Amino acid sequence: MPTMKAVVKTKPELGAELQDKPIPKPKSDWVVVKVRATSICGTDVHIYKWDNWASGRIGAKALPQILGHEVAGEVVEVGEHCKRIKVGDYISAETHIYDPGDLTSMLGQAHVGVHMKILGVDYDGCFAEYFALPEIICWPNDKSIPPEVATIQEPLGNATYAVLGEDADVAGKSMLITGDGPISLFAIGVARAVGVAKIIHFGKYDRNMEIGKQMGADLQVYTNKTTGKERLEFVLDHTGGNGVDIALEMVGSQDSLDDSFACVRKAGRVTAFGVASEPTMPIQYNNGIVFKGCQIHGINGRKIFDTWYRNRNLLANGRLDPTPVITDVYPLAEFATGFGKMMERPRTSAKIVLFPERSEYEAALKRRK
């Protein structure tokens, strides 16, 4: 049986191992992809650390399992029932394996499907030379998009959906974006690309604040050097005393939640993306939501495939350059260095891309300025 190198979670404890695994064969409605680039997500870090979320969601009895879900690659084999995707297609993967029979899918909300499964969580992932995925979640990439960018379209899609919301009514408006993880930084770039008129960024790590500026933040505030009251005054000062039209909560901390509901204007939108460490978090219910006439929009995933379509157009036509957020690239075999970087605090990295093949890694290095 032909084998491949893969990053495998073998034990319910910190870490993962590079192992030889059989190259997967496609089920009848799945395809097999040769991975050109893959990137490390916060979800992978949870699994790598094997924290409470990972042990509860995946569980030790699912191990061994290959990590990873963000990918760009070339289709090398298709199952006998595949129709749309062909051998040779250059694709990325929507991580959410939706069930077309779910009510939400039938109503165009497949990203929050009832029977949804997740790549790299419920199935083997893509931190490998090859991996298998259902045809329905394959997204054909524009050939002009290099693999290190094509792989980050999945988290970029979270950012795009968060910025646009359900109505995409953002042009000419003001937006607060909290946090300095990769998706906050992508969101700044998307907001700029789709015509948000004023972008206020709250973060705390120097390098990531620098990237936020590069991505197009107009104004920045260090949350570790200011009080909530000072941040609110700053936002009011720069929005004619009204507050921002839209606030993206992308941290999940109490301070960030408070900032978002305080800084949004009356009848504005708060987008909830940051996953809170506690299952319940206090909110200024009366003054932050009820009397403000505030809308709250939860983001889980991307709009399938509306977000993908918009991102492909933004990337292929050069309207959006997400590459400043890709801070590090490594060969797949050096995955442990990548995970080490991801876990470092204060943060010194944002998005990290891995390449199974040396030549892809070297080509990506050459493209970096």
Q: Does 156 bind Zn ion (CB under 5 A)?
A: no
Smaller CB separation from Zn ion, 70 or 89: 70
Smaller CB separation from Zn ion, 154 or 360: 154
Amino acid making up residue 138: C
The question of whether 238 is a catalytic residue gets the answer no
Scanning 194-305, the segments in alpha helix (DSSP H) are: 206-215, 228-237, 254-263
Binding residue count for Zn ion, defined by CB under 5 A:
3
Question: How near is the Cβ of 286 to Zn ion at its closest, in Å?
Answer: 36
For residue 142, the 8-state DSSP code is P
**Residue span 189-228 as binding mask against Zn ion, x where in contact by CB under 5 A, dash where not:** ----------------------------------------
* CA distance to 29, 208, 216, 281, per residue, from 349 (Å): 37, 7, 18, 28
Torsion from C-alpha of 248, 253, 255, 259, nearest 10 degrees: 10
* Of residues 58-97, those binding Zn ion (CB under 5 A): 70
Question: How near is the Cβ of 188 to Zn ion at its closest, in Å?
Answer: 18
Residue nearest to Zn ion (CB): 41
Question: How near is the Cβ of 174 to Zn ion at its closest, in Å?
Answer: 28
Find the catalytic residue in 3, 10, 38, 46: 46
Scanning 120-181, the segments in alpha helix (DSSP H) are: 147-150, 153-164
The question of whether 223 is a catalytic residue gets the answer no
CA atoms within 13 A on the CB side of 125: 33
Smaller CB separation from Zn ion, 50 or 186: 186
Name the one range near Zn ion by CB under 5 A: 147-155, 175-183, 269-277, 279-287. 147-155
Question: How near is the Cβ of 310 to Zn ion at its closest, in Å?
Answer: 18
* CA distance to 110, 136, 227, 285, 324, per residue, from 104 (Å): 5, 16, 41, 28, 35
Find the catalytic residue in 3, 38, 43, 160: 43
Rounded-to-integer distance, Cα 23 and Cα 64, Å = 15
3-state secondary structure (DSSP) of residue 50: coil
Closest CA to 24 of 32, 16, 36: 32
Smaller CB separation from Zn ion, 155 or 203: 155
Smaller CB separation from Zn ion, 234 or 330: 330
Q: Which two tokens stand for residue 364?
A: 């990506």
Rounded-to-integer distance, Cα 339 and Cα 266, Å = 41
* Of residues 17-56, those binding Zn ion (CB under 5 A): 41
Residues found near Zn ion in the complex (CB under 5 A) = 41, 70, 155
Q: Tell me which residues are annotated as active site.
A: 43, 46
